[in-house]
């Protein structure tokens, strides 16, 4: 006969397995009006505990020839935390990560640096390809 703690653990683990799938971490893509594809990204944390044991009887005779089944007591618990991390934005050849939270202004500036560099490159390429007569 299998011990009841095994069944308790199996039930809890199958419930957690049902809650977790890839769509919890990487969400379903959404296409925006401008043609960009937005993919939500989340951080998922789980905690799980199971405990149990056989209870003893106070009035049980000390020396019994046959084995005595003692009552079982047990429990399990689980916790789930889902926190949004950000969004992957795919637009043409460009992929950007937009965070869900900015902690400081410096974080936001660092995130915008690649965008600014791409904008400056685009402006310089336009100026290089423009007719020199029209620039004067």
Instruction: Tell me: pLDDT of 57 over 70.
Output: no
Instruction: Quote the pTM value.
Output: 0.51
Helix (H, G, I), strand (E, B) or coil at 41: strand
pLDDT given at position 37: 92
CA pair distance 105, 103, nearest whole angstrom:
7
Which of the two residues, 89 and 54, has the higher pLDDT score?
A: 89
* Structure-token pair, residue 60: 């049980």
For the stretch 9-35, pLDDT in tens is: 787 777 777 776 666 778 888 998 888
* Structure-token pair, residue 82: 């889902």
pLDDT given at position 3: 65
Instruction: Tell me: pLDDT of 40 over 70.
Output: yes
Q: What percent of the chain has a predicted confidence (pLDDT) above 70?
A: 76
């Amino acid at each position: 006969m299998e011990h009841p703690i095994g069944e308790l653990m199996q039930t809890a683990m199958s419930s957690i397995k049902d809650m977790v799938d890839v769509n919890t971490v990487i969400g379903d893509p959404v296409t925006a009006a401008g043609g960009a594809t937005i993919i939500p990204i989340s951080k998922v944390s789980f905690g799980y505990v199971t405990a149990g044991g056989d209870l003893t009887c106070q009035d049980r005779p000390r020396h019994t020839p046959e084995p005595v089944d003692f009552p079982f007591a047990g429990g399990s618990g689980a916790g789930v935390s889902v926190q949004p991390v950000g969004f992957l934005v795919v637009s043409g050849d460009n992929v950007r990560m937009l965070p869900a939270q900015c902690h400081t202004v410096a974080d936001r500036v660092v995130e915008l640096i690649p965008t600014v560099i791409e904008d400056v490159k685009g402006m310089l390429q336009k100026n290089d390809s423009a007719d020199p007569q029209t620039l004067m």
